[in-house]
Chain A
Amino acid sequence: AQTVTQSQPEMSVQEAETVTLSCTYDTSESDYYLFWYKQPPSRQMILVIRQEAYKQQNATENRFSVNFQKAAKSFSLKISDSQLGDAAMYFCASLAGNTPLVFGKGTRLSVIA
Protein backbone atom coordinates (compact mmCIF):
# COMPACT_ATOMS: atom_id res chain seq x y z
CA ALA A 1 0.00 0.00 0.00
CA GLN A 2 1.06 3.54 -0.67
CA THR A 3 1.21 6.24 1.99
CA VAL A 4 1.94 9.94 1.73
CA THR A 5 2.81 12.08 4.75
CA GLN A 6 2.86 15.85 5.01
CA SER A 7 4.12 16.82 8.44
CA GLN A 8 3.48 20.56 8.20
CA PRO A 9 -0.22 21.42 8.65
CA GLU A 10 0.50 25.13 8.16
CA MET A 11 3.31 27.23 6.76
CA SER A 12 3.76 30.91 6.13
CA VAL A 13 6.14 32.89 3.95
CA GLN A 14 6.82 36.53 3.27
CA GLU A 15 6.01 37.76 -0.19
CA ALA A 16 8.99 37.40 -2.56
CA GLU A 17 10.68 34.92 -0.23
CA THR A 18 11.21 31.17 -0.69
CA VAL A 19 9.37 28.41 1.15
CA THR A 20 9.75 24.63 1.14
CA LEU A 21 6.89 22.24 1.81
CA SER A 22 7.80 18.74 2.95
CA CYS A 23 6.42 15.39 1.84
CA THR A 24 7.49 11.83 2.44
CA TYR A 25 5.99 8.76 0.83
CA ASP A 26 6.17 5.01 0.92
CA THR A 27 5.44 2.58 -1.89
CA SER A 28 6.44 -0.94 -2.86
CA GLU A 29 6.19 -0.09 -6.56
CA SER A 30 9.30 0.59 -8.58
CA ASP A 31 7.48 2.68 -11.17
CA TYR A 32 5.49 5.55 -9.72
CA TYR A 33 4.74 9.23 -10.07
CA LEU A 34 4.64 12.02 -7.52
CA PHE A 35 2.59 15.20 -7.66
CA TRP A 36 2.00 18.47 -5.90
CA TYR A 37 -1.48 19.92 -6.18
CA LYS A 38 -2.63 23.38 -5.19
CA GLN A 39 -6.15 23.91 -3.85
CA PRO A 40 -7.15 27.61 -3.63
CA PRO A 41 -10.32 28.76 -1.83
CA SER A 42 -12.35 27.80 -4.93
CA ARG A 43 -11.38 24.20 -4.02
CA GLN A 44 -10.42 23.39 -7.59
CA MET A 45 -7.46 21.00 -7.58
CA ILE A 46 -4.67 22.42 -9.71
CA LEU A 47 -1.66 20.37 -10.71
CA VAL A 48 1.49 22.29 -9.79
CA ILE A 49 4.24 19.85 -10.68
CA ARG A 50 4.85 16.15 -11.29
CA GLN A 51 7.89 13.93 -11.00
CA GLU A 52 8.51 10.57 -12.61
CA ALA A 53 10.29 8.28 -10.16
CA TYR A 54 12.63 6.89 -12.80
CA LYS A 55 13.99 10.35 -13.54
CA GLN A 56 16.79 11.56 -11.32
CA GLN A 57 16.49 15.15 -12.45
CA ASN A 58 14.25 17.27 -10.25
CA ALA A 59 11.17 18.69 -11.99
CA THR A 60 10.77 22.45 -12.28
CA GLU A 61 7.86 24.62 -13.39
CA ASN A 62 8.69 28.32 -13.36
CA ARG A 63 8.88 29.33 -9.67
CA PHE A 64 8.06 25.81 -8.47
CA SER A 65 10.66 23.07 -8.13
CA VAL A 66 10.97 19.82 -6.26
CA ASN A 67 13.74 18.11 -4.34
CA PHE A 68 13.21 14.42 -5.08
CA GLN A 69 15.27 12.15 -2.85
CA LYS A 70 14.33 8.65 -3.97
CA ALA A 71 16.36 6.72 -1.42
CA ALA A 72 14.92 8.77 1.41
CA LYS A 73 11.43 8.70 -0.18
CA SER A 74 11.22 12.44 0.13
CA PHE A 75 9.52 14.85 -2.28
CA SER A 76 9.58 18.47 -1.16
CA LEU A 77 8.20 21.47 -3.03
CA LYS A 78 10.08 24.74 -3.20
CA ILE A 79 8.26 27.91 -4.11
CA SER A 80 10.54 30.79 -5.04
CA ASP A 81 9.62 34.47 -5.15
CA SER A 82 6.36 33.74 -3.33
CA GLN A 83 3.30 35.67 -4.47
CA LEU A 84 0.02 36.41 -2.75
CA GLY A 85 -1.71 34.12 -5.24
CA ASP A 86 0.33 31.20 -3.97
CA ALA A 87 -1.68 31.13 -0.76
CA ALA A 88 -3.62 27.86 -0.78
CA MET A 89 -3.69 24.29 0.48
CA TYR A 90 -0.96 22.16 -1.06
CA PHE A 91 -1.30 18.41 -1.36
CA CYS A 92 1.40 15.90 -2.12
CA ALA A 93 0.25 12.75 -3.93
CA SER A 94 1.59 9.53 -5.40
CA LEU A 95 0.34 7.30 -8.18
CA ALA A 96 1.59 3.81 -9.01
CA GLY A 97 0.23 1.19 -11.36
CA ASN A 98 -3.49 0.69 -10.99
CA THR A 99 -3.46 1.62 -7.32
CA PRO A 100 -5.40 4.75 -6.37
CA LEU A 101 -3.97 8.24 -6.35
CA VAL A 102 -3.00 8.70 -2.69
CA PHE A 103 -2.80 12.09 -1.00
CA GLY A 104 -1.17 13.54 2.07
CA LYS A 105 -3.26 15.57 4.50
CA GLY A 106 -2.15 18.87 3.04
CA THR A 107 -0.24 21.97 4.09
CA ARG A 108 -1.98 25.33 4.30
CA LEU A 109 0.34 28.02 2.97
CA SER A 110 -0.14 31.65 3.92
CA VAL A 111 1.69 34.44 2.10
CA ILE A 112 2.33 37.59 4.09
CA ALA A 113 2.46 40.88 2.22
Chain B
Amino acid sequence: SQTIHQWPATLVQPVGSPLSLECTVEGTSNPNLYWYRQAAGRGLQLLFYSVGIGQISSEVPQNLSASRPQDRQFILSSKKLLLSDSGFYLCAWSPDRGKAFFGQGTRLTVV
Protein backbone atom coordinates (compact mmCIF):
# COMPACT_ATOMS: atom_id res chain seq x y z
CA SER B 1 0.00 0.00 0.00
CA GLN B 2 1.01 3.59 -0.48
CA THR B 3 1.93 5.48 2.66
CA ILE B 4 3.76 8.63 3.66
CA HIS B 5 5.86 9.11 6.77
CA GLN B 6 6.83 12.48 8.16
CA TRP B 7 8.88 13.10 11.29
CA PRO B 8 9.28 14.36 13.88
CA ALA B 9 5.72 15.26 14.88
CA THR B 10 6.81 18.02 17.24
CA LEU B 11 10.04 19.97 17.47
CA VAL B 12 11.25 22.82 19.65
CA GLN B 13 14.48 24.39 18.48
CA PRO B 14 16.47 27.46 19.57
CA VAL B 15 17.05 30.36 17.22
CA GLY B 16 20.18 29.80 15.16
CA SER B 17 20.08 26.02 15.35
CA PRO B 18 19.87 23.79 12.26
CA LEU B 19 16.76 21.99 11.08
CA SER B 20 16.11 18.73 9.27
CA LEU B 21 12.60 17.42 8.62
CA GLU B 22 12.25 14.20 6.71
CA CYS B 23 9.47 12.78 4.59
CA THR B 24 9.46 9.36 2.96
CA VAL B 25 6.93 7.66 0.75
CA GLU B 26 6.33 3.94 0.36
CA GLY B 27 4.58 1.92 -2.28
CA THR B 28 5.15 4.11 -5.28
CA SER B 29 7.90 5.42 -7.51
CA ASN B 30 8.72 8.84 -8.94
CA PRO B 31 6.03 10.72 -7.02
CA ASN B 32 5.73 14.50 -7.02
CA LEU B 33 6.66 15.69 -3.52
CA TYR B 34 5.78 18.93 -1.73
CA TRP B 35 6.63 20.86 1.43
CA TYR B 36 4.03 23.28 2.77
CA ARG B 37 4.05 25.57 5.80
CA GLN B 38 0.95 26.64 7.66
CA ALA B 39 0.93 29.45 10.21
CA ALA B 40 -1.64 29.21 13.00
CA GLY B 41 -5.17 29.61 11.62
CA ARG B 42 -3.88 30.32 8.15
CA GLY B 43 -3.73 28.66 4.75
CA LEU B 44 -1.01 26.48 3.28
CA GLN B 45 2.02 28.15 1.78
CA LEU B 46 3.92 26.06 -0.76
CA LEU B 47 7.63 26.08 0.04
CA PHE B 48 9.18 23.52 -2.32
CA TYR B 49 8.12 20.89 -4.76
CA SER B 50 9.98 18.18 -6.61
CA VAL B 51 9.10 16.15 -9.68
CA GLY B 52 12.17 13.90 -9.48
CA ILE B 53 15.49 13.14 -7.79
CA GLY B 54 17.59 16.27 -7.49
CA GLN B 55 14.85 18.44 -9.02
CA ILE B 56 13.69 21.07 -6.54
CA SER B 57 11.58 24.13 -7.26
CA SER B 58 11.43 26.87 -4.65
CA GLU B 59 8.28 28.94 -4.43
CA VAL B 60 9.21 31.43 -1.74
CA PRO B 61 12.64 32.99 -0.96
CA GLN B 62 13.37 32.07 2.62
CA ASN B 63 15.70 30.65 5.21
CA LEU B 64 14.92 27.07 4.18
CA SER B 65 16.15 24.60 1.59
CA ALA B 66 14.99 21.22 0.35
CA SER B 67 16.69 18.17 -1.06
CA ARG B 68 15.59 14.93 -2.67
CA PRO B 69 18.49 12.52 -2.33
CA GLN B 70 16.38 9.48 -3.18
CA ASP B 71 13.25 8.95 -5.25
CA ARG B 72 10.97 8.65 -2.25
CA GLN B 73 12.74 10.90 0.25
CA PHE B 74 12.23 14.62 0.63
CA ILE B 75 14.11 16.65 3.24
CA LEU B 76 13.48 20.18 4.48
CA SER B 77 16.47 21.90 6.04
CA SER B 78 17.77 25.10 7.50
CA LYS B 79 21.28 26.03 8.59
CA LYS B 80 20.09 28.63 11.12
CA LEU B 81 16.50 28.84 12.27
CA LEU B 82 14.71 32.15 12.74
CA LEU B 83 11.74 32.85 15.01
CA SER B 84 9.65 33.37 11.88
CA ASP B 85 10.30 29.75 10.83
CA SER B 86 7.87 28.55 13.50
CA GLY B 87 4.79 26.87 12.09
CA PHE B 88 3.22 23.65 11.01
CA TYR B 89 5.05 21.89 8.19
CA LEU B 90 3.31 19.42 5.95
CA CYS B 91 4.81 17.04 3.44
CA ALA B 92 2.59 15.89 0.61
CA TRP B 93 2.92 13.57 -2.34
CA SER B 94 1.14 13.02 -5.58
CA PRO B 95 1.54 9.58 -7.13
CA ASP B 96 -0.22 10.80 -10.23
CA ARG B 97 -2.06 13.91 -11.19
CA GLY B 98 -5.36 12.79 -9.80
CA LYS B 99 -4.33 12.17 -6.21
CA ALA B 100 -2.55 13.98 -3.41
CA PHE B 101 -1.90 12.79 0.14
CA PHE B 102 -0.39 14.37 3.23
CA GLY B 103 1.90 13.35 6.07
CA GLN B 104 0.94 13.90 9.69
CA GLY B 105 2.76 17.22 9.86
CA THR B 106 5.50 18.65 12.09
CA ARG B 107 4.79 21.38 14.60
CA LEU B 108 7.96 23.47 14.79
CA THR B 109 8.48 26.04 17.52
CA VAL B 110 11.56 28.19 17.35
CA VAL B 111 12.42 29.74 20.74
| A contacts, CB < 8 Å to B | 31-33, 35, 37, 43-45, 47, 50, 52, 91, 93, 95-98, 100-106, 108
Contact = CB atoms under 8 A, between A and B. Distances in A.
B59 A100 contact: yes
B58 to A, nearest CB: 11
A47 B62 CA distance: 29
A31 B88 CA distance: 31
A95 B90 contact: no
Count chain B CB atoms within 10 A of each CB in A44, A45, A91, A95 and give the residue with the most: A45
Contact of B98 (A50, A98, A104, A108): A50
A96 B97 contact: yes
A95 to B, nearest CB: 6
Nearest to B49: A100
